[in-house]
Amino acid sequence: MAQNPNASKDGGMRLIRDDLVVAEYGGASNLMFNELVKQWIKAGRKIYHFAFGQSPFKVMDIAVEALKQHAGENAYLDVQGLPELRQGICRFHARYDDLTIDPSQIIVGPGSKELIFLLMSVFNGNVLILSPSWTTYKPQALLAGHKPVILTVGVESEWRVTPEILEEAMLAQKRKGPSLLIMTNPCNPTGTAYSENDLIALSTVFRKYDVTVLSDEIYARLSYDQNHVTLAKIYPEGTVLSTGLSKWASAGGWRLGYHIYPKELSALKGGVKSAASHTYSCAPAPVQHAAVQIFRDEAACDDYIRHTSRVMAAVAEFCYRELSSIGVKMVKPKAGYYIFPDFEVIRQPLRQRGIQTCEEMCTLMLAECSVAVMAGGPSYLRPVEELTTRLCYVHFDGSDALKKSRDVSLDAPLPQTFVQDFCTPVYDGILVSI
């Protein structure tokens, strides 16, 4: 009798493919740690939570009302997304990114995370991932059957990939063929962002080697000076633009993201659409209908984006200033929720206490200061002995902060005590840390 290829030696079933590197593949570290910290907080433990990047603001009122109105929508929608929604997305990116998009170029999904995974799943070629990068890119690549190539960037380039690094990686490719670069702009975990000149220089290399780029721009509208430049404008023929409502619209739990494909990558888009039809079928109908009304109200979107990004800029400036004052090295954030400090300044005192790795340092910070942060390595693909951490400065109730910002003209600065008064958990947690 033939043996079941999925049977284990003890008669059970293999539940994971043998070709997955189990040591490198597991649950999303940020989600698991966040769940643990929430349990501790619920149990009454005082913790300054800098370990999870979730918007501190409430969803826009117009969005909440729209969702209420469409709660009864229960029909399956087009796999690519509601036509009216895709039209709204086109108008939105014409307004903010000066892009001319046809609705047929868009695929809407239950979060951009799902769409990134499907793209990796159907892509036949090399997958390139930066170090540092978001925790999920490498595990997704492994799950999709790839052995990703890691491109290490450094603080000397403000954590941005350079044409030289990319050129070297392309020349070193052992497996010839198409390449897909996963690139985040603005960046999670570092808070850095690429200028127009940066993108122009990179595009020369992209075109030379025919690189397809997944440009994850989920934090684009949270650019502090509102000057985000999309790669889709500079390298339109080879860029898949990935974004959604999770960050700028504070709707992470709504799970609505989308990809924009250039017409030159229509075959790739077709593969992702087919995969979508066999996995999630369509993004949730009530959320899609509500999103139509969000994109229609340009004035509400403008107001929300400007004030939430101004609040986040004030918090970022405070964190950068205070940590820099004690010698912690980092790049000043330009957008989003994150800073990527390097605590090399305290390496010697840590060694005297037997602390050798960043994870050990983070464990000590949690135990002695009740400060929760995530180590740069290995979750963000940094060396385990490097003392970099991803610090998320969002653990505060943004309602009062947003109200105060709206009370102050955008032409005037926020009060000097703004972070202390309206973002108090972050203020206290940073002071405890230093």
CA distances from 139 to 4, 127, 246, 269 (A): 28, 12, 21, 22
304 in the same domain as 292: no
Residue where a domain terminates, one of 250, 270, 296: 296
Number of domains in the chain: 2
Distance CA 432, CA 382 (A): 25
224 in the same domain as 151: yes
Question: In sequence order, what E strands does 331-395 have?
Answer: 338-339, 371-372, 374-375, 389-392
Going residue by residue through the chain (434 aa), what tens digit of pLDDT does each one get? 333 333 333 333 334 444 544 445 566 676 777 788 888 888 888 999 999 889 999 999 999 999 999 999 999 999 999 999 999 999 999 999 999 999 999 999 999 999 999 999 999 999 999 999 999 999 999 999 999 999 999 999 999 999 999 999 999 986 678 999 999 999 999 999 999 999 999 999 999 999 999 999 999 999 999 999 999 999 999 999 999 999 999 999 999 999 999 999 999 999 999 999 999 999 999 999 999 999 999 999 999 999 999 999 999 999 999 999 999 999 999 999 999 999 999 999 999 999 999 999 999 999 899 999 999 999 999 999 999 999 999 999 999 999 999 999 999 999 999 999 999 999 999 999 88
217 in the same domain as 366: no
Residue given tokens 């969000």 in the structure block = 294
Domain span at residue 373 reads 29-57+300-433
In this structure, what CATH number is given to the domain that contains residue 199? Answer: 3.40.640.10
**Helix-helix angle 424-433:298-324, to 10 degrees:** 20
CB within 8 Å of 351: residues ≥ 6 apart:
none
Q: Where are the alpha helices (DSSP H) in 43-130?
A: 61-69, 83-97, 112-122
Residue where a domain terminates, one of 247, 267, 296: 296
In a domain, 124, yes or no: yes
172 in the same domain as 46: no
Residue where a domain terminates, one of 235, 267, 296: 296
In a domain, 14, yes or no: no
In a domain, 188, yes or no: yes
In a domain, 1, yes or no: no
pTM: 0.92
267 in the same domain as 124: yes
281 in the same domain as 149: yes
292 in the same domain as 333: no
CA distances from 329 to 30, 323, 334 (A): 23, 8, 16
Question: In sequence order, what E strands does 89-238 have?
Answer: 106-109, 126-131, 149-152, 179-184, 211-216
In a domain, 236, yes or no: yes
